[in-house]
Amino acid sequence: MSITISYISSLSDKESTALLFTDGSAVSGFYKSEPEKEYVEKGLSAETALISINQYVKQLFFIKPKAENIAYRRKENLRKTGADLFKQVSQLKLESLQLASFTDDPEDVLALCEGLMLGSYDFLKYKTDKDKKETKLKQIRLYGKGLTQERVEEIRNLIEATCIARDLVNEPVIYLTAEQLSEDISQLGEEAGFAVEVLNESKIASLKMGGLLAVNLGSPNPPTFNILEYKPSDAKNSQPYILVGKGVVYDTGGLSLKPTPNSMDLMKSDMAGAAAVVGAMYALAKNQVPVHVVGLIPATENRPDGNAITPGDVITMYSGKTVEVLNTDAEGRLILADALHFAAKYNPQLVIDLATLTGSAAKAIGKEGIVYMGTASDEIKKAFEASGNEVYERLVEFPLWEEYGSQIESGIADIKNLGGPDAGAITAGKFLEHFISYPWLHLDIAGGAFLTSPDSYRGKNGTGLGVRLLYHFLKSSVG
């Protein structure tokens, strides 16, 4: 991140400042005149939460949160206000800003900061004039009742982790091959403090990971299987949590080629599940959360070379189960299946997989939420949904009813990789269910992982969807 975030115990009266308050008397001392006060009080309304005044030597931004009875919606409104604040700060070319909270909840100013910082994200690596496009804002200082240095550092690391995931998703395959992804993960592991083991193609072949090998057959670049582990000495869980991320660094559809050129335009984002796992591991390790977590990332391209897997082929998975491949564009479930079976060796407490798996999920709920399903207990699902609300990466559970299983029955193999014309997100989940033997949640993040137009602090292109959700859930799970 180009912007630094720090905690301060007192405010400077010479710095531009955003003032967050619910009671107007708390900020009365910041006005230079009665007309200023009248202007602000008149400007702030139920619809307008942010208004600014120029005091020549500094800019003041007055922020009064909208009335909201539900706490997590209040935080989301503050994130969005933070993104709006960044636009104004950017237009004014401010280099530093104080965020000062005069509310009773220190989480208010952290949510505002989160929205501002995530709203400031821009992927400029390949811009030749990046200096002109970079924000002038370099420093944010946070002040507020109940705020601590530790909490500020935690949110800073979580924002950084989300931006790391965004960077990975935004990278084109001309750079981010499976092997390069593994190198980047290894470097991030060194920075944050989690271990990384990379299995190369020969090791993958020796393990007979038939799904990953089959999808990779048409690629000029080899696959990798990445094992990330964060195991602090004070971990509170005796059985690890496992995070599995789909790592298709580019998806043409294989020989079942995607029907139109523009349907391939966004397919560098088909590894957003892997990026979410990397980001979550980075945040957990950086913040030294006492939880044992293992990340599994099968990585490959899906291309239509002459040696590529063909519709009608039968492959043998790492589990020994045979799969009839009827559509090579339903490849994500093949590589996830190998990783999910591999996860069993850890005797996990819970396994969560994330994947941009189906267009059906995106069509069902759009960018506004995440489709999920699984065999975990209702208690775990309830806690997971609560985390989704808190970070506003909301979850909608789809059923795994046994009737859907008939759609993936094969006449010549154990199962096939394609269901019928309806309920595609569910039949993809039913396919994955064949490879699990532990409590499990499957997240289809196809709707919100990559956006073609800006959406408040989520921005445009890679969003880092899943990082904040996983972090909040796992941190909450260990108290």
Residue 439 forms part of a structural domain: yes
Catalytic residue among 64, 303, 333, 394: 333
Domain annotation covers residue 317:
yes
- Residue 366 inside a domain? The answer is yes
Is 152 within a domain?
no
Together in a domain, 136 and 190: no
**331 and 373 in a common domain:** yes
110 and 212 housed in the same domain: no
Whole-angstrom Cα Rg for the chain? 24
Q: Which residues contact 56 (CB under 8 A, 6 or more apart)?
A: none
Are 135 and 167 contained in the same domain? no
For residue 153, tell me if it sits in a domain: no
Chosen domain end from 81, 112, 147:
147
Same-domain pairing of 315 and 227: yes
Same domain, 210 and 318: yes
> pLDDT tens across 156-177, in order?
999 999 999 999 999 999 999 9
Q: Measured between alpha carbons, how far is 365 from 419 in angstroms, rounded to an integer? A: 20
Residues 263 and 311 in one domain: yes
Q: Name the residue among 441, 417, 214 with its Cα closest to residue 333.
A: 417
Give the chain's domain count: 2
In-domain check, residue 266: yes
Name, in order, each residue with C-beta under 8 angstroms of 468's C-beta and a sequence gap of 6 or more.
158, 162, 391, 393
> Is the same domain home to 139 and 229?
no
CB 212, CB 225: distance < 8 Å: yes
Residue where one domain finishes, among candidates 112, 147, 182: 147
d(CA 299, CA 115): 31
DSSP structure string for 138-178: -EEEEEETT--HHHHHHHHHHHHHHHHHHHHHHS-TTT--H
What is d(CA 411, CA 408) in angstroms, rounded to the nearest whole number?
Answer: 10
User: Can you read off the two tokens belonging to residue 90?
Assistant: 């950017």
Nearest-angstrom CA–CA distance, 165 and 440: 23
- Provide the residue range defining the domain that includes 47: 4-147
Alpha carbon distances (Å) from 271 to 198, 301, 336, 408 = 17, 10, 12, 24
Spell out the residues 6+ positions from residue 261 whose beta carbon is closer than 8 angstroms to its own: none
pLDDT for 94: 97
CA end-to-end distance (rounded Å), the chain:
29
Count of CB atoms situated within 10 Å of the CB of 25: 8
Task: Among 86, 112, 147, identify where a domain stops.
Answer: 147
pLDDT at residue 267, rounded to an integer:
97
pLDDT of residue 46: 67
In this structure, is residue 369 part of a structural domain?
yes
* Each residue's pLDDT tens digit, 186-215: 999 999 999 999 999 999 999 999 999 999
Residue 329 vs residues 9, 257, 267, 358, 426: alpha-carbon distances, Å: 55, 7, 11, 10, 16
Handedness of CA 114, 119, 120, 125 (dihedral sign): positive
Specify whether the CB–CB gap between 376 and 441 falls below 8 A: yes
Same domain, 280 and 318: yes
In this structure, the answer to whether residues 252 and 380 fall within a common structural domain is yes
Which CATH number fits the domain that encloses residue 104?
3.40.220.10
> Which is catalytic among the residues 66, 151, 258, 321?
258
- The region that residue 4 occupies, defined by phi over 0 for left and psi between -120 and 50 for alpha, beta otherwise, is beta
CATH number, domain of 183, equals: 3.40.630.10
Please tell me the distance from the alpha carbon of residue 118 to that of residue 80, in angstroms, as a whole number: 10
Q: Is 258 a catalytic residue?
A: yes
207 shares a domain with 116: no
Which residues of the chain, if any, have pLDDT below 70? 46
Please check whether residues 118 and 174 belong to one and the same domain: no
333 belongs to the catalytic site = yes
Is the torsion defined by CA of 55, 60, 61, 67 positive or negative? negative
